[in-house]
Structure 1
Amino acid sequence: MLYVRPGNHPQYASSARLLPTVYSRYLAGAGARLRCPDAPAVPPSELLALARSQAEYILGRNPLRLSYMVGYGPRFPAQVHHRAASIVSHKANNRFIGCMQGFDHWYVRKRPNPNVLTGAIVGGPNCRDEFRDDRTNYVQTEACTYNTAPMVAVFARLHNLSATAAEEGCRPGTALGLSAKCK
């Protein structure tokens, strides 16, 4: 995974995934390549391949085989650092749960959250691809909109490419169904 710096690095990496996704489309439309001094030109397909590999990493194609998108795949974070996800719902327990009761009883519990925060992308692994699924480990388990929001556009673009490829007789190229390889 692209790694920028410690402390909820997906906020940077998610945006870094979005840029090659958008720029590859622009380059393809212009019939151009990315040109950098003292380096070979990069075709749009390579930029898109970078974005795709990063999206697949988020969804579980990584050393831990863990999806960092909550609710996606067979393994994903179960102790997301999120108050509403980590405390029992009002439907299950309609008694008042104050701030201290929530902290004392629910925050330090070593069991999965009673509410799954489906679709949220957590802080993710450290620079050594290690991840500790513990809601007190907020750096790795906190779900933030600035992690998830840029990925919506990346996933939409990759889904659009997969759908277009399927219409043209291509088959999914990965178990995650995000890439397509033509016959």
Structure 2
Amino acid sequence: MEVMIGFVAELIKISILSCIYAFVAMLIFKIIGSYKHGSWFDRVSRKKLKLWLLSGFFISLGLFIFMFTHYGDHGLGDSARVPIGHWREIQQTNGTLTYIQEDGKVSVLAIDKFVIADDYLYGFISDMNENYNAKYFIYDLVNNNIKTYEEINGYLNFLTTKNLHERTEYKDFNYYYRQYWTGWRFWILP
């Protein structure tokens, strides 16, 4: 049910955005057509309703397709996701379970607070894991490899060898979600 409500809300947002973008496209065609009489822009801009409907349709189709791409999908309903580079992502379900998953692997790693830096995602493993007994993890985004550490010494040694900051402030999923999806992405994309 939550997914359906989220999907309907996205469709409403897409229709509003496409109406606005179609109006802007119509204005641009009108301005260009007024400077170049007899041009294609002038002929097209005379049929305002047809131009607005067609451009609105194609813009809404483009926004709808973009909504399902890697950089446009932020989750529907009770799921949320943040792209973190190299076609990888952090996902969250029900606002409580944050996890990462290697490509092609069945098991997921539930994580707590973490840092995204220099093609690495590293931080603390959540207590909700069934398959992992470790406390720390490092996810190499380039090689799609997750290493887990039970002791802090091995974890800190790896961070030091890769010149990653071990004394940085670890953030939760909501922080990175707000960082990525608010601002201009919220206002101009579905």
The normalised TM-score by structure 1 is 0.31
**Which protein is richer in strand relative to its size?**
2
RCO (CA 8 Å, sep 6+): is it higher in 1 or 2? 1
Q: Which has the larger radius of gyration?
A: 2
